[in-house]
């Protein structure tokens, strides 16, 4: 379960930036090709923030769609899942993006 180490990194980064100030909410962008389960991150977040300035804060997860280009018909589309197919039915897609995972926003309490 790599969500735990990812969440730990998010929490550590936020703690550094907050510098001891309580945090109200954190918004994280997760690309849909990251193979990270938002529900698992939410679960880990509660565990990881215990005893930190982030304890009790709200974690908001924004799923970022991936941009993909079909190698068959050359159409470009947005995909929410790496198992998606092109409109033409082809699965031969080239993705450019959707693998980002970053802290978008942090609100101090």
Binding interface with Zn ion (CB under 5 A): 70, 72-73, 75, 86, 88, 90
Q: Which is nearer to Zn ion, 73 or 108 (CB)?
A: 73
Q: Shortest Cβ distance from residue 34 to Zn ion (Å)?
A: 24
Paired tokens of 11: 């929490």
Quote the least distance from Cβ 99 to Zn ion, whole Å: 21
Instruction: Kindly tell me which of 28 and 86 has the beta carbon lying closer to Zn ion.
Output: 86
* Residue 69 CB, nearest approach to Zn ion (Å): 9
All residues at 6 or more sequence positions from 32 whose CB lies less than 8 Å from its CB, including other chains: 63, 64, 65, 66, 79, 80, 81, 82, 98
Sequence-distant (6+) residues with CB within 8 A of 55 are 49
């Amino acid at each position: 379960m790599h969500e735990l180490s990812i969440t730990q990194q998010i929490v550590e980064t936020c703690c550094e930036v907050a510098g001891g100030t309580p945090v109200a909410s954190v918004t994280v962008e997760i690309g849909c090709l990251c193979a990270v389960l938002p529900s698992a991150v939410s679960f880990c977040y509660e565990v990881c923030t215990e005893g930190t300035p982030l304890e009790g804060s709200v974690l908001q997860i924004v799923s970022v769609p991936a941009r993909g280009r079909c190698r068959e018909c050359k159409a470009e589309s947005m995909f929410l899942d790496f198992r998606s197919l092109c409109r033409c039915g082809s699965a031969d897609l080239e993705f450019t993006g959707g693998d980002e995972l970053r802290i978008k926003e942090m609100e101090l309490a």
